[in-house]
A and B are shown apart, each in its own frame.
Chain A
Amino acid sequence: MFYRENGQFKSSYSSDQAIFPIAQDRAFVIGILLVAFCGVPFFINEYWANAILIPLLVYALAGLGLNILTGYCGQVSLGTGAFMAVGAYASFKLVGFFPEVNYLILIFVSGLVTAAVGVVFGLPSLRIKGFYLAVATLAAQFFLIWLFNKVGWFYDHSPTGMITVRPIDFFGVRVTGPEATPAAKYLFTLTIIATLTLTAKNIVRGRVGRSWMAIRDMDIAAELIGIKPLQAKLSAFAVSSFYIGVAGALYFGVYLGSVEPLEAFDINQSFYVLFIIIIGGLGSILGAFLGAAFIVLLPILMKNLMVGGFGVASGTAGHVEILLLGALIIFFLIVEPHGLARLWQIAKEKLRLWPFPH
């Protein structure tokens, strides 16, 4: 249609560096945000909040975090599940210690705690690369989960080792537990995620982001032009873990409400988030959202289609769902190995030319 950048001139570097230099893109994103903030809360019900939108947002945030580490800095990690657990347990303990402090601050601090843990487990990245590093992060995965499962202090010595979120009010509005309204939970999550997405975009388009990408694309050359690998990698681990930690805190507090470490944060969780960024697109902020949409929505979509639509028995549908999900992952990787974000980009480029081929 009229998706053109002709006639949009930039007269300063700052407008050239804007996140969406093209006016139509800006309008599109503002539109989406308007709908998300002002439209959706009026229509949302428990199913859409608890089963679809909140998991989608939380996983997008975790994906964003992992994408910073893997997509931007090139360090493959399989410890996402454990880092989410750190965020969850940190927020659990913090809420216990400081019930009066604003939940948002506690979530932020949980992110910082996770960042610190992430830095410690990021240290091996200075010597180990590629898949070796990926497998090494599994050490973090297994060790941390063991710790949370074993040390009673972390779960307030509950007899089963599960932790359950307390009802928490945020400026007088209940945001956790069953009494929170879907709209409150959703808006709380959405606000945090929208803010963190913006900061992530800011970081990756600035100096720090460039040094990550330099390390990712060619670590030796990066070092030779004066980027300190130690600083770049560990800052990526820290920022990534911060995001994942916040995601973990929301995953526990707002989404699930009660978790058992071995199940909620197990290695599948790590793979799940890795799927999100690979399907969505490595090194793309948008990719984390698209990937999360794919991974969270697709199984639900398939299930509803098979069970609700065609009356397939739910067990059989479960098997078919796994099979189809696998097949679709392979299919998408074959069609576009760089993920949904790249597909979107290509679509936009075509749209820019449309209806004239050149």
Chain B
Amino acid sequence: MAFDLFLLEVVISGLMTGVMYSLVALGFVLIFKASGVFNFAQGVLALFAALALYDFLAEDGWFFAVFGFTLPVWLAIPATALIMIFLAWVIERAVLRFLVKQEEIILFMATIGLAFVLEGLGDLLFGSDVKPLDIGIPQGASDLLLDNFNLYVEKLEIVAAATAAVLVTALAIFFQKTRVGRALRAVADDHQAALSVGISLNKIWVIVWSVSGIVALVAGIMWGSKSGVQFSLSLIALKALPVLILGGFTSVPGAIVGGLIIGVGEKLAEVYVGPLVGGAIENWFAYVLALGFLLFRPQGLFGERIIERV
């Protein structure tokens, strides 16, 4: 019985971790869908968002230095969202519009360059100390579950899962039901045609990078609350990659389901197989899992079947 409960714990924490990965993967997918850009800077965006948010909340930040007061959380989050939108606008102005029509790998490189810029900028502006981010998300294990059922689940992760659910629902509505959402999907399908019917690509990119920036903000809040805001936050992008290949680069549900599979898979592997081979296998296991999956479905979980033509 105790053993089964442990298995359940592993699966649950895998699912929860998976949600955290999905939050990052989601940002990737949005940008890739709308602009074909494999945005390696997504992790750094999350870091940058978290840094900016911290700045509004803390007394050692720029905001306090300039205005002499800090913002309450409910104001700081929208303010950070505004910063992310501004950042999206700058990225579009300074990078994307000059790289239209380039090959994917060139755009990919450009986002790595962007990641460097943001990393350097983040360090210069906010310093590289660890910044504890506390926006009131409860920390630690859920006492309710632990005391009554001896089941260990982190409160933060419950909040993250709920937030992710809300976020995905909101995104789905946005994409399916609104005029701009329709335009976004149109752009994802065919840039040229979208341009020809009067959809401004530049505007769409700003929108989609803003949305991605806001998703990054959510990811940044969750990961920042978990491990403090510091440089390593940007490395979670690496954990999102296997999620992406599993779920497909263009599928929002893929990012979610992929995240869950990777989360559960790597935790089970680490806990049950890791001890046999010396541990620390979860990193590569996630990739091998995704790779094995790809060999059977080269287009990912929800990707479309590729029919090759000549």
- A325–chain B nearest beta-carbon distance, Å: 6
Flag whether A257 is at the interface (Cβ < 8 A): no
- Tally chain A residues at the interface, Cβ within 8 Å: 45
Interchain CB contact under 8 A, A323 and B124:
yes
Given known A323-B121, A324-B120, A326-B113, contact A128–B294 (CB-CB < 8 A): yes
Residues in chain A near residue B290, CB distance under 8 A = 135-136, 139
- When the two chains form their complex, are residues A143 and B284 in contact, meaning their CB atoms are under 8 A apart? yes
Is A344 an interface residue, CB under 8 A from the partner?
no
Check A330 for interface membership: any CB of B closer than 8 A.
Answer: yes
Q: A136 with B294: in contact, given A142-B283, A146-B281, A322-B116 (CB under 8 Å)? A: yes
Chain A residue with Cβ nearest B310: A220
A10-B17 Cα distance, complex, nearest whole Å = 66
Q: Which residues of B contact A275 (CB under 8 A)?
A: 109, 112
A132 interface hit (Cβ, 8 Å) = yes
Let me know if A327 and B117 touch, CB within 8 A.
yes
Asked if B260 is at the interface (CB within 8 A of a chain A CB), the reply is: no
Residue from the list A132, A150, A328, A337 in contact with B300, Cβ < 8 A: A132
Q: Is B99 a contact of A334 with CB atoms below 8 Å?
A: yes
CB-nearest residue of chain B to A338: B106
A333 touches B99 (CB 8 A): yes
| A124-B291, A132-B300, A267-B238 known; A322-B102 Cβ under 8 A | no
Which residue of A124, A132, A326 is within 8 Å of B115 (Cβ)? A326
Note all chain A residues with C-beta closer than 8 A to B119: 322-323, 326
Distance of A108 from chain B, by nearest CB (Å): 29
* Interface membership of chain A positions 305-324, coded 1 if the CB is closer than 8 angstroms to chain B and 0 otherwise: 00000000000100111111
B residues near A28, Cβ cutoff 8 Å: none
- Shortest beta-carbon distance from B210 to chain A in Å: 20
Q: In the complex, what distance in Å separates the CA atom of A271 from the CA atom of B237?
A: 14
Q: In the complex, A132 Cα to B281 Cα: how many Å? A: 21
A323 and B104 contact, CB distance less than 8 A: no
A130 at the interface (CB under 8 A from B): yes
Q: When the two chains form the complex, which single residue of B102, B105, B112, B242 contacts A329, counting CB atoms closer than 8 Å?
A: B112
Chain B residue at smallest Cβ distance from A146: B284
Instruction: Tell yes or no: B170 within 8 A of A by CB.
Output: no
A153 interface residue, CB < 8 Å from B?
Answer: no
Q: Which of B98, B114, B310 contacts A326 (CB 8 A)?
A: B114
Q: Which of A130, A138, A322, A330 contacts B241 (CB 8 A)?
A: A138
**Any B CB within 8 A of the CB of A224:** yes
Shortest distance between the CB of A253 and any CB in chain B (Å): 26
A333 to B121, CA, bound (A): 20
Closest-by-CB residue of B relative to A129 is: B298
B123 interface hit (Cβ, 8 Å)? yes
Q: Are B287 and A139 in contact (CB under 8 A)?
A: yes
Contact between chains at B120 and A321 (CB < 8 Å): yes
Q: Is the CB of A333 within 8 A of B242?
A: no
Tell whether B278 is near chain A: CB-to-CB under 8 Å.
yes
Question: Is the Cβ of A132 less than 8 Å from the Cβ of B120?
Answer: no
- Residues in A whose Cβ lies below 8 Å from that of B99: 333-334, 337
Residue of A nearest to B125 (CB): A319
Chain A residues positioned under 8 Å from B95 (CB to CB): 330, 334
The closest CB in chain B to the CB of A145 belongs to B284
Q: Tell me whether B106 and A337 are in contact (CB under 8 A).
A: yes
| Chain A CB within 8 A of B280 CB | yes
Q: Does A69 have its Cβ within 8 Å of any Cβ on chain B?
A: no
Residues of B within 8 A of A288 (CB): none
Least CB distance from A273 to B in Å reads 12
Partner among A136, A278, A324 whose Cβ is within 8 Å of the Cβ of B106: A278
Q: Mark B273-310, 1 if CB is under 8 A from A, else 0.
A: 00001101101100110110011001010000000101
Please give, as numbers and ranges, the residues of chain B lying within 8 Å of A321 by CB-CB distance: 120
Q: Please state if A124 and B113 are interface contacts (CB–CB under 8 Å).
A: no
- Tell me, yes or no, whether B110 is within 8 Å of chain A by CB: yes
* Min distance, Cβ B201 to any Cβ of chain A, angstroms: 17
Residues of chain B from 98 to 142 with CB closer than 8 A to chain A in the complex: 98-99, 102-106, 108-110, 112-121, 123-124, 128
Tell whether A221 is near chain B: CB-to-CB under 8 Å: yes
Distance in Å: Cβ of A264 to nearest Cβ of chain B: 17
* Closest residue of A by beta carbon distance from B280: A146
The verdict on A278 contacting B105 (CB below 8 Å), with A322-B123, A323-B124, A330-B117 known, is: yes
Minimum CB distance partner of B40 in chain A: A271
> Is A207 interfacial (CB 8 A cutoff)?
no
Let me know if B47 is at the binding interface, CB within 8 A: no
Q: Is B38 an interface residue (CB 8 A)?
A: yes
A271 CA / B112 CA spacing, docked (Å): 9
Instruction: Verify if A62 is at the interface (C-beta below 8 Å from B).
Output: no
Q: A128: which of B114, B277, B295 is its contact (CB, 8 Å)?
A: B295
Task: Report whether A323 and B120 are in contact in the complex, using a CB–CB cutoff of 8 Å.
Answer: yes
> Which of A139, A149, A279 has most chain B Cβ within 10 Å?
A139
Indicate if A358 sits at the interface (CB-CB under 8 A).
no
- Which B-chain residue is minimally distant from A224 (CB atoms)? B310
Q: A138-B287, A139-B284 are in contact. Are A329 and B116 (CB under 8 A)?
A: yes
The 7 A-B residue pairs whose C-beta atoms are closest, nearest first, are: A326-B116, A323-B120, A329-B113, A142-B284, A139-B287, A326-B117, A322-B120
25 CB contacts below 8 A, A to B, read A76-B105, A124-B295, A128-B294, A129-B298, A131-B104, A132-B245, A135-B242, A136-B291, A138-B241, A139-B287, A142-B283, A142-B287, A146-B283, A278-B109, A316-B124, A323-B120, A325-B113, A326-B113, A326-B114, A327-B117, A329-B110, A329-B116, A330-B117, A333-B99, A333-B102
List 5 other contacts, CB 8 Å, given A131-B108, A278-B109, A322-B120. Answer: A135-B245, A138-B242, A146-B283, A150-B277, A322-B117
